[in-house]
Structure 1
Amino acid sequence: MATAYQQDFYTWALDQAALLKQKRFDEIDLEHLVEEIEDMGKSEKRALESYIENLLMHLLKWRYQPYYTGRRSWELTIIEQRKRINWHIKENPGLKSKLPEAIEHAYELAKSGAEKATGIPISRYPETCPWTYAQFTNPEFWPEPGE
């Protein structure tokens, strides 16, 4: 038989919140509540990685296609992703400790995305991220054309 958690997540979540507020801890669906809280943390990390991936992909395109006519769109995306990253870290300072692995993962995806978007083979991009976090989030930083 399906549980409330499986049948109607929205109502289940509201019920769990009500039980917590009422301190009725013995009635809480602890197993699923723990799972959902852990997933919330993972979701924040995935969001950060997504912002970094999008930023790095556009910085790669900026660097390796300096004469592309759609650069204004890239510029706007770069500016927006920098804002999102800075806001996300401000709202979730605990993610700072996850930056090295987030950047590594995001850069791999960014290279693949840049390859698909530009047709430039992935082998032409640096193996590891060529910029530091401080560089790629700096509003004054714009990569010089690459090889």
Structure 2
Amino acid sequence: MTQYNVDFAQWAYEQAALCRQRNWVAFDAEHVADELENMGVRERRELISRLSVLLAYLLKWQYQPQWRGKSWRLAIHIQRLDIENLLNHNPSLRGRVVDCLLDSYYRAVLQAALETGLNEAVFPIECPFTLEQILEEYWPVDGE
């Protein structure tokens, strides 16, 4: 039997097999429970990460219109598609999007400031976009 902290991948395969066999004596319930909880946390982190990237591109789109191009448009589309896919596979996250948005916006400002060379203070303190604008086909206009 592989130990949890020696070879995680092998341990996971073994635990799946033990679960299917209903071998509860050898089953590492405590670590499996921890991993299941961590899976939920990872999905939330994934949503925050994708929202951060999307918001950074929306800010760049708004504050540097001279640099708008196909790559930015594609990045925005991809992030929106990936967020929708993530929410479809994890419907419970839909109720947490607003909280995730709060965690995402500051990261987005940092990214947008670094990538544009603009000072962080140029960007609004609070997210200037509604949740609908962020997730739908919205494209910020200059100075909006």
Instruction: Output the TM-score relative to the length of structure 1.
Output: 0.92
Task: Tell me the amino acid that sits aligned with residue 126 of structure 1.
Answer: P
Q: Secondary structure at the match of 2:121?
A: helix
Task: Tell me the amino acid that sits aligned with residue 16 of structure 2.
Answer: A
Q: How does 1:24-39 map to 2 (within 5 A)?
A: 24-39=23-38
Q: Deviations over 1:110-146 (max 9, x none)?
A: 000000000111111111111111111112x100112
Q: Which runs of 5+ in 2 are unaligned?
A: none
Task: Tell me the amino acid that sits aligned with residue 35 of structure 1.
Answer: D
Give the Cα–Cα distance (whole angstroms) in 2 for the partners of residues 39 and 79 of structure 1. Answer: 28
How many pairs does the alignment contain?
143
Q: How much does 1:12 deviate?
A: 0.6
- The residue that corresponds to 2:118 in the other structure is 120
Higher mean C-alpha displacement, 27-36 vs 56-65:
27-36
- The residue that corresponds to 2:82 in the other structure is 84
Q: Deviations over 1:77-104 (max 9, x none)?
A: 0011111111110111011121111101
Give the Cα–Cα distance (whole angstroms) in 2 for the partners of residues 87 and 11 of structure 1. Answer: 29
Give the Cα–Cα distance (whole angstroms) in 2 for the partners of residues 121 and 63 of structure 1. Answer: 15
Task: Tell me the amino acid that sits aligned with residue 50 of structure 2.
Answer: Y
Moved over 2 A (4+): none
Give the Cα–Cα distance (whole angstroms) in 2 for the partners of residues 75 and 13 of structure 1. Answer: 39
Q: How much does 1:54 deviate?
A: 0.7
Q: Secondary structure at the match of 2:4?
A: helix
Task: Tell me the amino acid that sits aligned with residue 143 of structure 2.
Answer: G
Give the Cα–Cα distance (whole angstroms) in 2 for the partners of residues 28 and 128 of structure 1. Answer: 47
Q: How much does 1:32 deviate?
A: 1.0
Identity of aligned residues (%): 38
Q: How does 1:48-127 map to 2 (within 5 A)?
A: 48-68=47-67, 71-127=69-125
Match of 1:143 among 131, 140, 143: 140
